[in-house]
Structure 1
C-alpha cells in the first residue's frame, strides 16, 4: 500500500504524515510539497514503523516520482485560515493549488483513491472532479471530500454532554457540506440516543458547524484546526485503506459526487445538490453505496438542511466554474 501526502510540510500535512508513518497498513509513504519535504521525510524515516518514507519537491520531476504507483493520495495542501477569514476567502489560492495537484494525479496516478482535505471542500472536490473529467480519468467512486472532522467534533462535544468516556463509541451522522451552515449534524439519529433541545441544541449545532472558528480564535492568528484535521483525515484514510484491503462493513460520512455512487441519485433528487456528504459504505472499489438519511431528519434538522442546500449549490457551482472558466 503506497500512500501519498500532497502538502506534507504544512500544518496539517506534517501530523498527518506522522500518523501515516505510524500505521501498520502503509508500506510506502511519499511526501510532496513545494518546500521542506526532504527534511520532513528524513525525520519521519527514523521512526521504527513499517512504512518506507521518501520526500519530494517540484524540481527533478518530484510530483511524478511521488505520485507514480500510489494507491491513495491525500491532499491537505493550501493556505490556512486566519482570524476573520471565511473558507470562501481561501478559495482562489487553494483552488489553484488543488487543480494543479489533481492534474498530477490524473497523469501519474489516475486509479488512486483521492482524498481532498484542502478547503473549501465544498468547492475543491468539484474542482478535482472537473480536472479528472477533462483528463478522461474521473472515477467518482474514488474521489472523496474529507468531512470527518465534523463527525469527530460532534462525537467529542456530545460526549462532553453525556459523560461518555470514549467518544468513538458514539455514532452521530453529520451530513451536507464542510463549512458553516452547510454542515448539518443529525443528532436525532445518534446512537446511542441522547436528549437535547431548545437553546442547548442550537448551541451544540452551532459549535459543530463553526468549530473551526473556535480553533482559529484560540490560536490567536497563529493557525487553524491542523492537529484535529490531521487526526480526522487519517481516520478517514485508514478506513479507505482497510476497505481497499478487503475489510467489509465500513461506513463513514464523506462528500461525494452523487450521480457516480450507488444510492446517490435519490439523495441528489432530495437535496438538489450534485455533491453531498452522507454515510458511504466503502469497499475495494472505493465508494460502494451512499445511504440516504436525509428523509429521516426531524423538523429542526430539515430547516438546517434548507440552508445547507442553498449554500452548497453555490459552493459547488463555484468550483465547477473555476475549472471551466478559469479566473483571469
Structure 2
C-alpha cells in the first residue's frame, strides 16, 4: 500500500470519528481531516490530466528506481477517496435528498471495489484488467467494508428491512443472491482455468459460459416465480378467511346492536364508544356520553357497592353479569 493511501485511510477514519462528536475539537478534527482527504484526492486525480502537477506519492516516497507513473496512486483509488470524503461530509444531513445522493456515492464506491475484488478472485491478469478497475486488492477490501459500513450507517432501517426482513423482496435476496453469485464465480473460475490452460478457445468459452448462465438464470427465475406464486396463493387463502371472519363478526355485531345496549369503556370506566340502541334508550346523544362515566346515566336505583362489585368482577374476570335499571 502506498504511503499516501495509508495516510488517506487514516484521515478518513479520523474524520468519521470526529463526525460522531459534538464538541468543538471533534468538529475541527472532522472538518480538517475530510478537507485534507478531498484536497489530496483532487490533486491525485489532477495528476492524470495535468502533467505539470507534482506527484504526491513522489513527495512522500522519493524513489529514484521507480518511474513517476509507477509511484502514482491509482486513479480509481483517488476517485474512491473523493467519493467517500464527500459522503462523510454529508452523512449528518437531515435532508432526504442529500441522504439519497450520499447513498448513491457510497454505493458507487462499493460497486467499484466489489468489481475489483471479483477481478482479483477470478485471477484476471493485470494487463487485461488494469484499464477497468486498477485498485490494489488490500485497498479494495478496505474500501468495500468501509463503504458498506457507511451505507448501513446512513440508511440502516432500509438495509435492515432489505437484508433481515421477512418481506418478499428480502426473501428473494436471501434465496437467490447466494445462488446467483456463487454460480457466476464458479463458472468464471472454470472458464478462466480452461482458457489459461488452452483447453478451450476464448470465443467458444464465452459461448458456453453464456449458455450455462442463461440456463441457470432461467432456472432460478422459474424456482423463485413458483415460490412467489405459492406465497400469493396462501395470502389469498388467508385474506379470504379473514374477510369471511370479518363478515361474520359484522353480522354478530348487527344482531347485538339491534337488541342490546352496548357501550365500551377504558380501565377507568370512561365511556369511549356506544351503539345506537344505547343512545336511543338513554335519550343521550353519542357526543354527550363519550368521555363521561356511567354516572351520567345513573338512575339511583343501585347502591355504590353494587357498581363497585360489578367493576371489580369485570376487571378481574374480564366480564360481569347483572341487571341495571
TM-score by length of 2: 0.24
State which structure, 1 or 2, has the greater radius of gyration over its C-alpha atoms: 2
Whichever structure has more strand as a proportion of its residues is 1
Structure showing the higher helix proportion among its residues: 2
